[in-house]
Amino acid sequence: MQTNESTARLYVVASEPVFVSQAHELAERLGLPLGAFEQQDKRHGDIGSWCLQVGADGLSMQQIGPGAPGPVRVDFVGGKMGFRRQRQEATPDLVDAVGIMPGIRPLIWDLTAGLGQDAFILARQGCVVRMFERHPIVHALLADGFERARAAAAEGDEELGAILQRMTLLAVDSHEILAAPALPQGMGEKPQVIYIDTMFPERSKSAKVKKEMQLFRHLVGNDSDADQLLASALSAEPHRVVVKRPRHAPQLAGLAPSVEFKGKSVRFDVYALRRLDPS
C-alpha cells in the first residue's frame, strides 16, 4: 500500500492518562504528532483529521468530527472474526479461489495484509500465511491485534493459538520482496499462492463506504501501483495469483483471469499458472 500525504492530519492520543507514555512512544516511532489528552473528543476535535488512539482495548484509529464512524482496530478474538470463528463460518469463494481442497493447504503470501481478515480466514482453514504490510500505521494496527490475540491464546484458547502460529506479519514492501534475487533469511519457501487485495476503486454512489475503507483511503490513497504488483506477482511464478476485486470492477491491468469466483459484492480473479497438488 502506498503512503498518502493526508496522513499529516493524523495524530496519536491516549484514551486515558495511564496510556500517555505508550502514546508518546508510538508517536515517536511513527513520526506523528502527539495530541493532547483532551483531543480524543471525537465530536469537537479537529474536523477532517484522524487520531491513532492507545487505550485499554489496544490500538485503534478514529476519524474526528460530527457523525464520524466508530474506531477501527484489528481484532482476531472478538468482533466479526471471533463471531465467524465460533460459528465455524468460512468464505467459500475465497477458499475456492486460493485452491483449498482435501489434502491441499497452499503456502500463501498476502501481499497487501490490510487489517488481516482474509489472512486469518485462510490460516483458520489450515494454510500458512505470510502477511506483508508496508504502511507503518497499518502495520502498527496489525501488530497490536496480534499481540492481543496471542495474550488471549495464552490464556487457554488453543484453536486461536494454532491459527496464529500459521500467520507471520512482516513490515516490508511486497514489490521489494518479489524483486529480490533470493528470499530474505527466515522467509522459508516460495509461495504456492500469492494473494492481492488492493484498494477498491472509489464508488460513484453517494452511500457511505465502510469505515475500514475510509481509513485505508485516508492512509494509502488509491493503490496506483496495483497493476505493477500483479505483474510482479505473476513474474514470481507461483502456482496461482488471486486478486480480490469489487464484483463489477475491471480486472487489474486489463488482464483476464483464468477463472473468477463471484460473491455478492466482491470477486476473486484467479490467474492459474500450474496445478496445486496434494502434499
- How do residues 121-135 score in pLDDT, each as one tens digit? 999 999 999 999 999
pLDDT tens, residue by residue, 59-77: 999 888 777 778 889 999 9
Report whether 40 contacts 66 (CB < 8 A). no
C-alpha cell at position 200: 477498491
Same domain membership, residue 259 and residue 131: yes
Residues 14 and 123 grouped into a single domain? no
Q: What angle do CA 278, 198, 148 make, to 5 degrees?
A: 75
Q: Are residues 169 and 32 in the same domain?
A: no
Same domain? For 194 and 86 the reply is yes
Query: Which of 63, 87, 110 is the C-terminal boundary of a domain?
Result: 63
Per-residue pLDDT, 46: 56
User: If we measure between CA atoms, which residue out of 174, 194, 176 comes closest to residue 122?
Assistant: 194
pLDDT-derived band at 201, boundaries 50, 70, 90: low
Q: Which domain holds residue 226?
A: 79-272
Based on the fold, state whether residues 84 and 136 are members of the same structural domain.
Answer: yes
Q: Check: CB of residue 83 under 8 Å from CB of residue 43.
A: no
Residue pointed to by grid coordinates 491491468? 253
Domain assignment of residue 74, yes or no = no
Q: Which amino acid is at 18?
A: V
Quick one: 143 exposed, middle or buried, by C-beta within 10 A (0-12, 13-18, 19+)? middle
